[in-house]
Amino acid sequence: MVTLRKARQDLEKRRNIVDDALENLVQEKISSSEAPAMILARDVILAGGKRYRPILVLLAFEAAGGKDNSIVMDLALSAELLHTATLVHDDIYDQAKTRRGIPTLHSTHGLSHGIIGGDYLFVLGFGLGGKYDSEVVARMAQSCANIAVGELLQFNHIGDLSTTPEDYYSIIDGKTAGPFASACQCAGMVAGADETITKSLEEFGWEVGRAFQLVDDLLDLTGDPSMGKPRGTDVHDGKMTLPIIHALTMLHGAEREQLADVIQNFSDDRWRELTSLLEMSGSFDYVRQLIDNHIGRAQSVLDKLPDTSAKSLLFEIAKQSRSRRT
Amino acid sequence: MVTLRKARQDLEKRRNIVDDALENLVQEKISSSEAPAMILARDVILAGGKRYRPILVLLAFEAAGGKDNSIVMDLALSAELLHTATLVHDDIYDQAKTRRGIPTLHSTHGLSHGIIGGDYLFVLGFGLGGKYDSEVVARMAQSCANIAVGELLQFNHIGDLSTTPEDYYSIIDGKTAGPFASACQCAGMVAGADETITKSLEEFGWEVGRAFQLVDDLLDLTGDPSMGKPRGTDVHDGKMTLPIIHALTMLHGAEREQLADVIQNFSDDRWRELTSLLEMSGSFDYVRQLIDNHIGRAQSVLDKLPDTSAKSLLFEIAKQSRSRRT
């Protein structure tokens, strides 16, 4: 289909814009007094990643009527750098060995440098985001504070078999959907759009962000490790993702006990046991249905925006988020 | 002396203003969705500390002609919170057990919560500081980036007997003096002062910050542990502070070898050996002279400011920094 190919090309164009801007930022800082910190942070910045957040910022800005995307570029980079900062710090306490296909910062440079490298990425992100109006900054800071809250909640529920779907949504709204929502909303604010538009963009961010996280959680259970994404990390870490929460609710008696045992004493040789229990309880189908609902709501909220090619691309991103493999 | 007593009262008043504002901030966040993060960060915020940075912000603002200090309060809090964030993270990789007289965050709540608690303090600091004009935000972000750079440089020189005084000043300018300088300068900018004034305030911050760090380094070697400040932490950590750098330069032959051995194989029973070598090389006197020079320069740069009670208090702070015991 020509339309799909065109959409992919247009998204790829935005991605290249983001990558180029990140590369320029790295070069600028490498040539400054900040070189020792940027040398440390450079690899994880340039290793790639999906760049969802900055691409959403660019598209939300355009969809909100923004013309000159140079005025929103720092916001886009800020969203990516703040996200990267949280990844670097998460990887420390999750003891992750690789990120974006390269060794994690702390595993090559040690704990101190992992912490400082993450802190530097936070500073870069806030420095770039801090250039905008105080309402934009306040909104960003709020969503960053809620990342911390979401992470703390997630720790509270590690291995907790009584975790509810509401707990789960509080966690992912803090960690993932909130930053998507604030990125889209702030992009609309920078474009000078009215509140109907910025609210719609915020709502779009919430829904796409939830779909994104649910897909992530499914991939952790069903993903193909040969695609580069390690499988089962959440289960090993005791993270209560929605497929598991759902299965614990649906199963009874011996099967529920078996699932509880698999989760609490997980090892790689219990994969088939786990997935067959999840299949039996219809949890994969349930989560896939929820993903479709979130994507549907994300797409329908776009109705409030004027028809533009950026809006079509936001629609397309929502659609594609269902079928990503990594 | 009445004047000195009055100055102390006036400084105490500013300190109380800062403490009250921090308490209000904590209460506000405890009653919000950010409660889980603030509950974690609360103790280290409210445990006190000298509050040098926020007091300097308030005084620099007044000395620059600022009237209504409610407009600079968020900057003052931001300076304190960003400082506290770095302490929480430093304490992790320095494996510190106490801070501000209470157990460190990571020692009571674990590594993950120490990292997240520090991140939340960064977010709070940037959120409050991000309300100001983009030049103020850029200046703050730059000084925060240079904290990371200073810390990385310090790691590079751990146990490095060839560390030069220039290396030392690069480290402390990044870690300590830079944040003092940007706090004072930004306070002047928020007051709407002209560049002569903001430059003088910046210079004041650099010089007071250097004096502050040199005093800290002296206290680590000569301090009275009964005053609440642990002694010898820097030596145990292999940090090359100026008294040691100076002594390594001044001593020769067997005595230099002895000092190198004391530093590289330090234990508490070698205190007397260390201090007598530092006395012998005149290093304490040398560093005290440097402190006086920095304080003198800090005080003389104040000549460019109009005479106000805030200016007298800045002068007094510089003077007092020489004789602090903790």
Q: How confident is the model at residue A229 (pLDDT cuts 50, 70, 90)?
A: low
Mean pLDDT of chain B: 94
Residue B1 has pLDDT above 80, yes or no: no
CA distance B134 to chain A (A): 5
Residue A47 touches partner B, C-beta closer than 8 Å: no
Q: Where residue A1 falls among pLDDT bands split at 50, 70, 90?
A: very low
With a cut of 50, say whether residue A95 has pLDDT above it: yes
Instruction: Provide the pairing of β-strand B98-99 with B102-103.
Output: antiparallel
Per-residue pLDDT at B322:
87
Q: What angle do CA B117, B123, B129 make, to 5 degrees?
A: 140
CA distance B214 to chain A (A): 23
* A123 closest CB neighbour out of B33, B40, B141: B141
CB contact under 8 A, B124 and A141: yes
CB contact under 8 A, A144 and B134: no
Q: Does B121 touch chain A (CB under 8 A)?
A: no
The ipTM is 0.94
Taking an 8 Å cut-off on Cβ atoms, the answer to whether B123 and A116 are in contact is: no
Inter-residue contact B80 to B54 (CB < 8 Å) = yes
- Closest-CA residue of chain A to B114: A93
| Cα separations in angstroms, B216 against B184, B241, B267 | 20, 10, 20
Q: What confidence tens digit (pLDDT) does each residue in B64-73 have?
A: 999 999 999 9
Q: Is A39 exposed, middle or buried (CB count within 10 Å of its CB: 0-12, 13-18, 19+)?
A: middle
Backbone angles phi, psi at A98, to 5 degrees: -130, 155
Contact B74, B131 (CB under 8 A): yes
Residues from chain A that touch B112, judged by Cβ atoms under 8 A, are 93, 151, 155
Is residue A49 very low, low, confident or very high in pLDDT (cuts 50, 70, 90)? Answer: confident
CB neighbourhood size of B111 (10 A) = 15
Per-residue DSSP letter, A161: T
Contact at 8 Å (CB) between B324 and B254? no
Give residue B232's pLDDT. Answer: 84
**A80 to chain B nearest CA, in Å?**
16
How does residue B251 score in pLDDT terms, banded at 50, 70 and 90? very high
Where are the alpha helices (H) located in chain B, listed in sequence order? 2-30, 35-46, 52-63, 73-93, 105-109, 111-129, 134-156, 165-172, 178-190, 195-222, 233-237, 242-250, 253-264, 271-280, 283-301, 309-321
* pLDDT reported for residue B224: 74
CB-CB neighbors (< 8 A) of A146 in chain B: 33-34
Dist CA A281 CA A263 (whole Å) = 15
B250: pLDDT strictly greater than 60: yes
List Cα–Cα distances, A166 to A145, A248, B123, in angstroms: 20, 14, 26
Q: Are B205 and B181 in contact (CB under 8 A)?
A: yes
Give the domains, in start order, of chain B with CATH numbers: 2-321 (1.10.600.10)
The alpha carbon torsion through B289, B232, A114, B79 (nearest 10 deg) reads -50
Token pair listed for B5: 């007593």
d(CA A7, CA B234): 58
CA–CA dist A314, A325 (Å, integer): 19
Residues in chain B with CB shorter than 8 Å from the CB of A124 are 141, 145
Exposure class string for A294-309: b at 16+ Cβ within 10 A, else e: bbebbbebbeebeeee
Bridge pairing between strands A98-99 and B98-99: unpaired
Report residue A228's pLDDT band, with 50, 70 and 90 as the boundaries: low
The answer to whether A168 and A240 are in contact (CB under 8 A) is: yes
Q: What Å distances lie between residue B198 and B37, B54, B126, B188, CA to CA?
A: 35, 17, 21, 5
Least CA distance to A128: which residue of chain B?
A: B138
Q: What residues in A contact B142, CB-CB < 8 Å?
A: 127
For residue B17, pLDDT over 60 is answered with yes
A138 reaches B (C-beta below 8 A): yes
Q: 């440098």: which residue's tokens?
A: A113
pLDDT digits (tens, 9 = 90+) for A237-262: 999 999 999 999 999 999 999 999 99
Chain A touched by B124 (CB under 8 Å): yes
Q: What percent of chain A has pLDDT over 90?
A: 89
**Interface with chain B: mutation pick from A38, A122, A132, highest number of B CBs within 10 Å:** A122
What are the beta bridge partners of residue B99? B102
Q: Which of B106, B121, B122, B146 to mutate to test the interface with A (most CBs of A within 10 A)?
A: B122
**What distance in Å separates residue B163's CA from the closest CA in chain A?**
17
pLDDT at B4: 82
- pLDDT bracket for residue A227 (50, 70, 90): low
Question: How close is the nearest chain B Cα to the Cα of A121, in Å?
Answer: 9
Beta strands in A89-218 (DSSP E): 98-99, 102-103
DSSP line for A248-267: HHH--HHHHHHHHHHHHT--
Q: How far apart are CA B304 and CA A172, in angstroms?
A: 54
Condensed to tens digits (0 to 9), the pLDDT of residues B181-238 reads 999 999 999 999 999 999 999 999 999 999 999 999 999 998 777 666 668 889 999 9
- Distance, in angstroms, between A249 CA and closest chain B CA? 27
Asked if B93 is an interface residue toward chain A (Cβ–Cβ < 8 A), one would say yes
For A21-25, A231-235, B101-105, which range has the lowest pLDDT when averaged over its residues?
A231-235
Contact criterion met (CB < 8 Å) for A130 and B138: yes
pLDDT band at B10 (very low <50, low <70, confident <90, very high): very high
Contacts of A120 in chain B (CB under 8 A): 145, 148
Q: Which whole number is the average pLDDT over B115-135?
A: 96
**What percent of chain A stands above pLDDT 70?**
98
Q: Between A296 and B3, name the one with better pLDDT.
A: A296
Task: Determine contact: A144 vs chain B, CB below 8 A.
Answer: yes
Predicted local distance difference test score (pLDDT) of residue A157: 96
What are the structure tokens assigned to B293, written together? Answer: 């020079």
